[in-house]
């Protein structure tokens, strides 16, 4: 966006806020206390999962997800991921994230192209 001043923001999201849900940390509308970014296309989420926790994320057409597992183990659809693994997902309308073992991750929902 033209004419905006540059700014820097720090925000802390405690573990309870991130447990068993996709906690928005960056968004174009500042929803649920997330950091506002002046871009209408990017959203970043974080979560902490363990055991039988299950999260589903629906992806709109012409969007992709970049998934970064910070620690632990998790399954996304049928793909097993371990600590420090990353996954780029396109052409999937729904992601099922489950079977976590002490998992913490970032999920980037981005436009394709």
pLDDT tens digits, one per residue of 88-105: 999 899 999 999 999 999
Rounded to whole angstroms, how far apart are CA atoms 54 and 56? Answer: 7
CATH of 21-111, one of 3.40.50.970, 2.60.120.10, 1.10.760.10, 2.60.40.10: 2.60.120.10
Report residue 32's pLDDT band, with 50, 70 and 90 as the boundaries.
confident
Mean pLDDT, rounded, of the chain: 88
| Cα 35 to Cα 12, 22, 91, distances in angstroms | 10, 14, 27
């Amino acid at each position: 966006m033209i004419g905006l001043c540059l700014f820097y923001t720090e925000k802390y999201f405690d573990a309870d806020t991130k447990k068993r849900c996709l906690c928005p940390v960056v968004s174009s509308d500042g929803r649920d206390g997330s950091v506002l970014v002046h871009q209408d296309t990017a959203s970043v989420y974080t979560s902490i999962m363990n055991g039988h926790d299950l999260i589903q994320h629906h992806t709109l057409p012409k969007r992709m997800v970049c998934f970064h597992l910070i620690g632990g183990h998790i399954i996304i659809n049928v793909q097993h991921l371990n600590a420090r693994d990353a996954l780029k997902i396109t052409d999937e309308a729904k992601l099922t994230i489950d079977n976590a073992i002490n998992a913490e991750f970032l999920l980037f929902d981005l436009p394709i192209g």
